[in-house]
Amino acid sequence: MDSVTYSGDGMAFFLGHFPSKIPDNSVGGGLALLPKYADGTGDSRIVAVEFDTFANMECADINGNHVGIDVNSLNSTASTDTTSWPGKNLTSPNVLKTATMTYHNDSKMLAVDLLIDGALYQVNATVDLSTYLPEEVAVGFSAATGGVFELHQILSWSFSSTLESKKEAPPPAEAPLPIPTSSNNKHKKLVPILVSVLVPLLLLFVCAAVVLGLWRHKKRRANEDSEEECLDRADLERGVAAGGPRRYIYNELVAATGNFAEEKRLGRGGFGSVYGGQLTLAAAVGGDQDRRAVAVKVLSAESSAQGRKEFEAEVRIISRLKHRNLVQLLGWCDSRKGLLLVYELVAEGSLDRHLYNKDGKHLTWPQRYKIILGLGSALRYLHREWEQCIVHGDIKPSNIMLDSSMSTKLGDFGLARLVDHDTGLLQTTKAVLGTAGYIDPEFVNTRRPCSESDVYSFGIVLLEIVSGRRPVTETAGKSFTLLRWVWSLYGRNTILDAADEGLRGDEADEQWMVRVLIVGLWCAHPVRSERPSVAQAMHVLQSDEARLPALALHMYRTVPDPASSGPYGSFSVESSSSGRVRSSSDSTGSTTLSSESSSTALLRYSRDG
């Protein structure tokens, strides 16, 4: 029995009915001696010395580490605390424990001496064995572990006994010899008892405290969800917005997702995997059962390793976000088995499934424009309208959900990277992972996420929604980069050619497609300082009276097209005529920058240049 927070129940030396058997309805605290905390009667009578390593309130145990004498009950007649000597108790590992039990028939005194590495513990009680035990008895050892594992070992044990007959005066010569009576027979039947307990009984045993495995399937006589082994429960729940998300226990989410079955996996991202499921919400609302479709994100080992404190801080923040274009957080689980987040399951799934589906369905331009405005609205809220700026860090179509009315629901928002509005300094420490094709090039060099990084990703998504093309593709060993291709079309005054062919035909819609494509290029400008804020971009996206930005016509020297382009090429960057920022880069990706005071002018876009 190791020195740990929770041990098994312990072991005992006992005298009981012969032959002995484990009683029915026994529990760990009963040490396999009596039925569930019942008194011994009939064949279940016992006298025992218990070496108890778990406090059972039903037995009135003095603590979880004591030696006691039990007489037909688990409520000890006498007991002694064995924790007086530090490191010398019943659960001390790798320490020999030696017990000596002595019983004297004349005084009816049962005495126990327990020696643990030089520390002596003693307990004794007056017990008339002939009164409390049957005529024939079994002598042995019993033990129980309850809900945990504990190793009990007896290295050796021995006993000896003597029976000293009282000397009687010789009977008168004329008297006949006494006829044996039932009393004499009874006395003889007590011999096994006297043999086993009249004289010193030496028991040498070791509870070699080797914990083979220790876990709790549930807290002993406590609330049902202690199996979660969560720390600081009340502290985190106090920080969550009232009426907002709630804590779920791990087994609830296991049941909801079919034990995280592969067929229920909805997707996998940089932060972990997402599973669909059905969750009963009765525990949350206290009324009739209500099953709701949910998405359960199981954070990856790398994300979980960032630490519980950061996870708690982020849950508190996400729980307070309220916006029609954000996926709703329903709850969380912070078990030692993993960190999980529970979101509403949005009916139509992710945007990428609709952009690239193969079942013939096609998003119309009004639907795409509605999705664009919803995404911009969500980002504007995260960046400017909440009390602190939240950098999403992984904006891409697979994280943009669509409800039954094809409205945007931005999800998986980076576990809430905070940037102070006034200082612009990052308030949380974990780096945003991002996804290839959508990552801000400057973030690759600086490793410092900021709102401009989200703006870059937003711009790429705008180009993707209008064109129906992925940001980077490989064909026959050649790479196609959407941003470079669209910019080359802009330089040739043919940017409308980037629009999905299935959207073309309506001149008014085409003008809006051009507007969205140019704003997409503006947002994805290689230089952070040249990008607009989300609020500025939304102003241009929502109003046909707003002036479009004047961008450099020839941003990239290599002019790619969908059929042929290299993954990287030399490029030059120019802003408006009021100033310029030039950048040159060779094929290795090394970059030099020079700048003059630069500002981006806005003007009406003309198809005639």
Q: Give the whole-angstrom CA distance, residue 295 versus residue 5.
A: 36
Mean pLDDT of 346-372: 89
Q: Measuring CA to CA, which residue among 353, 358, 359 is closest to residue 371?
A: 353
Q: How many residues does the chain have?
A: 609
Residue 232 to residues 283, 340, 428: CA-CA distances in angstroms? Answer: 21, 17, 21
Tokens coding 125: 């009680």
Report which of residues 508 and 430 the model is more confident about: 508
CB 58 within 8 A of CB 87: no
Give the pLDDT band (50/70/90) at residue 185: low
**pLDDT band for position 406 (cuts 50, 70, 90):** very high
Tell me which range, 155-164, 220-229, 236-245, is most confidently predicted by mean pLDDT: 155-164
pLDDT of residue 420: 54
Distance, CA of 393 to CA of 413 (rounded, Å): 7
> CA angle, 361 as apex, 358 and 363 as ends, to 5°?
115
493-514 burial: b if 16+ Cβ within 10 Å, else e? eebeebbbeebeeeeebbebbb
Sign for the CA dihedral angle at 563, 567, 572, 574 comes to positive
Give the pLDDT score at 555: 81
DSSP codes of every residue in 373-424: HHHHHHHHIIIIISSSEEE----SGGGEEE-TT--EEE---TT-EEE-TTT-
Question: What whole-number percentage of the chain has pLDDT above 70?
Answer: 68
pTM of the model: 0.55
Higher-confidence residue of 576 and 158: namely 158
Residue 272 pLDDT: 75
pLDDT for 98-116, tens place per residue? 898 888 888 889 999 998 9
Phi and psi torsions of 274, nearest 5°: -120, 135
User: Average pLDDT of the chain?
Assistant: 76
Per-residue pLDDT tens digits for 48-64 = 999 998 888 788 888 88
Dihedral sign for Cα atoms in the order 81, 86, 89, 91 = positive
The answer to whether 322 is a known ligand-binding residue is no
Q: What domains sit in the chain, N to C, each tagged with a CATH number?
A: 10-160+189-206 (2.60.120.200), 224-345 (3.30.200.20)
Rounded to whole angstroms, the Cα distance separating 493 from 487 reads 10
Contact indicator for 211, 92 with CB cutoff of 8 Å: no
The sign of the dihedral angle between the CA atoms of 400, 404, 407, 412 is negative
* pLDDT score, position 407: 95
Q: What is the pLDDT of residue 271?
A: 66
User: Phi/psi of residue 468, each to 5°?
Assistant: 75, 20
* 198 vs 75, more confident: 75
Query: Are 150 and 53 in contact, with CB atoms under 8 Å apart?
Result: yes
- Whole-Å CA distances, 22 to 13, 30, 142: 14, 10, 9
pLDDT at 450: 85
What pLDDT does residue 408 have? 96
- Which among 537, 390, 525 has a CA at the least distance from the CA of 451? 390
pLDDT at residue 193, rounded to an integer? 57
**Of residues 157, 126, 141, 135, the one with CA closest to residue 48:** 141
Query: At residue 129, does pLDDT exceed 80?
Result: yes
Who's near 373: CB < 8 A, 6+ residues apart? Answer: 408, 538, 541, 542
Least confident interval from 116-125, 194-203, 569-578? 569-578
Backbone angles phi, psi at 190, to 5 degrees: -80, -5
Q: Is the pLDDT of residue 448 over 70?
A: yes
Average the pLDDT over each of 228-237, 333-342, 368-377, 513-522 and give the range with the smallest value.
228-237
444, 479 Cβ separation under 8 angstroms: no
With vertex at residue 338, the alpha carbon angle to CA 420 and CA 147, rounded to the nearest 5 degrees, is 140
Least confident of 443-447, 456-460, 478-482, 500-504: 443-447
3-state secondary structure of 482: helix
Whether pLDDT at 577 is above 60? no
Mean pLDDT computed over 129-133: 87
Assess whether pLDDT exceeds 80 at residue 462: yes
**The pLDDT value given to residue 240:** 61
Query: How confident is the model over 356-379, as a mean pLDDT?
Result: 91
Tokens 């525990």 belong to 283
- Output the pLDDT for position 222: 40
Helix (H, G, I), strand (E, B) or coil at 226: helix
Give the pairing type, strands 329-335 and 246-247: parallel
Catalytic residue annotation: 394
